[in-house]
């Protein structure tokens, strides 16, 4: 979706693309599947760190790239060394849209293969869409290539599931209040209060004590399990497991202020779950299953 008019203000481009999106869905939604190679600049999820957790599609695109604009220290340099040693590398940290958009647009218009590499999955706390809208507004097509988000690396490291029968029915990808989020927009206490939600807190390593203090002030059980996974899937990965009552001391002792996933809820330990219907009653019920049960069954794994 492009616009012939030229305008240097990325916010105007974002507003204009948003207006178009409100009126009609982009045809490309129906023409391509996620994972298909498409025309334009791919916004690729690098995964949580370990280069083996990059998708095959992402790896192929990086190997063909002339210019890779990456998310700095959140992307493991091993991955850049392994797949991008032939490409020009630009760290996006500290660059604004006014700098990034012309950089990617000009390279693309010069016929280069440009890849925008985000950490984890670009759809989670990635600010990808504003870059894509600004590029589309300038006539440069873009598309997403998903990646493994860090919450999934954290749950794999913890050897647990984020949803677990009779323990956790929901997952919240969330972040704590701070410069970006106001107090009223911080819902961590509500998620924990629901009792069957696993809260995966991004961008909250520096705020573990404040977050836990708020949970205690709100009357939550100090024994609620918390896992803090620093650099999940990196060679220096570290796992700290504790409770709402004691995790802040442990994280401070370890000295982590960034790059960790904070997981709150009983799913952290993986204890106390019940066997599922999937490999129990439903598996044995055969043709008698109701429509609703069949749909649930078909969509579980
Ligand atoms: C700007 S967000 C980007 C999230 C990314 N798009 C994703 O899907 O994982 C950065 C935050 O993600 C989390 N994070 C990213 N990589 C991580 C990793 N390997 N281990 C633990 N947490 C990670 C940290 O909470 C960090 O503060």
Extended strands (E) in the chain: 41-45, 67-70, 88-91, 114-118, 142-145, 170-174, 197-201, 225-230, 238-243, 260-264
Across 13-27, 153-167, 218-232, 243-257, least confident range: 13-27
Question: Mutate which of 70, 92, 119 to test ligand 1's pocket (most atoms within 8 Å of Cβ)?
Answer: 119
pLDDT score recorded for residue 281:
78
User: What single-letter DSSP state applies at residue 203?
Assistant: S
What is the residue range of 222's domain? 151-268
Query: Measuring from atom 12 of ligand 1, which residue has the nearest CA?
Result: 202
pLDDT score recorded for residue 294:
58
Q: Is 49 in the pocket of ligand 1 (CB under 6 A)?
A: yes
65 and 160 in a common domain: no
Task: Report the CATH number that the domain containing residue 196 is assigned in CATH.
Answer: 3.30.950.10
109 and 27 in a common domain: yes
Q: Are 207 and 176 in contact (CB under 8 A)?
A: yes
| Rg, the chain, Cα only | 22
Instruction: Note whether residue 285 is domain-resident.
Output: no
Q: Is the pLDDT of residue 160 over 90?
A: yes
Q: Is 260 in the pocket of ligand 1 (CB under 6 A)?
A: yes
Ligand 1 center–CA 206 separation, angstroms: 13
Ligand 1 center–CA 75 separation, angstroms: 10
231 and 220 in a common domain: yes
Tell me the average pLDDT across 151-175. Answer: 97
pLDDT score recorded for residue 262:
98
Tell me the average pLDDT across 122-127. Answer: 95
Instruction: Note whether residue 273 is domain-resident.
Output: no
Given 148, 172, 196, the domain boundary residue is 148
Q: What's the rounded Cα separation, in Å, for the pair 102 and 138? A: 9
Q: Is 202 in the pocket of ligand 1 (CB under 6 A)?
A: yes
pLDDT score recorded for residue 278:
83
Ligand 1 center–CA 216 separation, angstroms: 25
Tell me the average pLDDT across 155-169. Answer: 97
Distance of CA 89 to the CA centre of its chain: 22
Given 111, 127, 148, the domain boundary residue is 148
Q: At what angle do helices 97-109 and 128-137 cross, to 10 degrees?
A: 50
28 and 136 in a common domain: yes
Pairing of strands 114-118, 88-91: unpaired
Q: Is 119 in the pocket of ligand 1 (CB under 6 A)?
A: yes
226 and 124 in a common domain: no
162 and 137 in a common domain: no
**Which atom, in ligand 1's list, is nearest to the CA of 121?**
8
Instruction: Note whether residue 91 is domain-resident.
Output: yes
pLDDT score recorded for residue 5:
44
158 and 53 in a common domain: no
Tell me the average pLDDT across 174-202. Answer: 97
**Global confidence as pTM:** 0.92
Instruction: Note whether residue 1 is domain-resident.
Output: no
Mean pLDDT over each residue of the chain, to the nearest integer? 92
Q: What's the rounded Cα separation, in Å, for the pair 76 and 174? A: 23
Q: What's the rounded Cα separation, in Å, for the pair 131 and 80? A: 21
131 and 166 in a common domain: no
Query: Measuring from atom 21 of ligand 1, which residue has the nearest CA?
Result: 260
Any idea what the Cα angle at residue 64 is, between residues 59 and 67, rounded to 5°?
100
Query: Measuring from atom 27 of ligand 1, which residue has the nearest CA?
Result: 203
Q: What's the rounded Cα separation, in Å, for the pair 147 and 88? A: 22
| 150 CB-near residues (< 8 Å, 6+ apart) | 48, 49, 119, 120, 202, 232, 261
Instruction: Note whether residue 177 is domain-resident.
Output: yes
What are the structure tokens assigned to 259, written together?
């790059």
Instruction: Note whether residue 278 is domain-resident.
Output: no
Ligand 1 center–CA 119 separation, angstroms: 7
242 and 133 in a common domain: no
98 and 41 in a common domain: yes
69 and 90 in a common domain: yes
Q: Is the pLDDT of residue 113 over 60?
A: yes
Query: Measuring from atom 3 of ligand 1, which residue has the nearest CA?
Result: 125
Instruction: Note whether residue 298 is domain-resident.
Output: no
Tell me the average pLDDT across 83-92. Answer: 96
Ligand 1 center–CA 298 separation, angstroms: 31
pLDDT score recorded for residue 51:
97
Given 90, 113, 148, the domain boundary residue is 148
Confidence of residue 96 (pLDDT cuts 50, 70, 90): very high
**For the chain, how many residues are written?**
301
What are the structure tokens assigned to 301, written together?
């794994």
Task: Please count the structural domains in the chain.
Answer: 2
Q: Is 152 in the pocket of ligand 1 (CB under 6 A)?
A: no
Q: Is the pLDDT of residue 2 over 70?
A: no
Q: Is 231 in the pocket of ligand 1 (CB under 6 A)?
A: yes
Instruction: Note whether residue 290 is domain-resident.
Output: no
109 and 75 in a common domain: yes
pLDDT score recorded for residue 279:
85
Rounded to whole angstroms, the maximal C-alpha distance in the chain is 62
CA nearest 50: which of 118, 114, 117, 120? 120
pLDDT score recorded for residue 3:
42
Task: Report the CATH number that the domain containing residue 82 is assigned in CATH.
Answer: 3.40.1010.10
Tell me the average pLDDT across 8-28. Answer: 88
pLDDT score recorded for residue 193:
98
pLDDT score recorded for residue 276:
86
Looking at the chain, the whole-number percentage of residues with pLDDT higher than 70 is 92
- Please provide the DSSP assignment of 54-75 as one string: S-HHHHHHHHH-SEEEE-GGGS
Q: Are 119 and 150 in contact (CB under 8 A)?
A: yes
Ligand 1 center–CA 109 separation, angstroms: 31
Q: Is 176 in the pocket of ligand 1 (CB under 6 A)?
A: no
Q: Is 124 in the pocket of ligand 1 (CB under 6 A)?
A: yes
CA nearest 134: which of 92, 180, 112, 103? 103
Tell me the average pLDDT across 132-161. Answer: 97
pLDDT score recorded for residue 1:
43
């Amino acid at each position: 979706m492009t616009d012939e008019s030229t305008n240097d203000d990325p916010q105007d481009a974002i507003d204009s693309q948003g207006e178009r999106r409100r009126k009609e869905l982009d045809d490309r939604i129906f023409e391509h599947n996620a994972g298909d190679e498409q025309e334009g600049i791919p916004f690729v999820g690098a995964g949580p760190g370990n280069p083996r957790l990059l998708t095959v599609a992402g790896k192929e695109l990086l190997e063909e790239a002339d210019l890779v604009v990456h998310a700095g220290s959140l992307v493991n340099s091993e991955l850049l060394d392994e797949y991008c040693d032939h490409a020009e590398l630009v760290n996006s940290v500290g660059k604004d849209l006014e700098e990034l958009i012309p950089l990617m647009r000009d390279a693309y218009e010069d016929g280069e293969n440009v890849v925008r590499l985000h950490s984890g999955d670009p759809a989670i706390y990635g600010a990808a869409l504003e870059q894509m809208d600004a590029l589309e507004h300038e006539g440069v097509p873009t598309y997403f290539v998903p990646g493994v988000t860090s919450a999934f690396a954290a749950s794999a490291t913890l050897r647990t599931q984020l949803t677990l029968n009779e323990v956790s029915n929901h997952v919240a990808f969330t972040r704590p209040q701070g410069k970006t989020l106001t107090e009223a927009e911080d819902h961590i206490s509500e998620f924990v209060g629901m009792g069957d939600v696993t809260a995966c807190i991004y961008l909250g390593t520096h705020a573990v004590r404040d977050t836990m203090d708020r949970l205690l002030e709100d009357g939550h059980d100090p024994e609620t399990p918390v896992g803090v996974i620093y650099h999940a899937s990196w060679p220096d990965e570290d796992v700290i497991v504790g409770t709402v009552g004691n995790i802040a001391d442990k994280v401070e002792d370890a000295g982590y202020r960034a790059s960790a996933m904070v997981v709150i809820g009983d799913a952290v330990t993986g204890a106390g779950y019940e066997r599922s219907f999937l490999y129990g009653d439903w598996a044995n019920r055969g043709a008698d299953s109701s429509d609703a049960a069949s749909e649930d069954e078909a969509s579980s794994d």
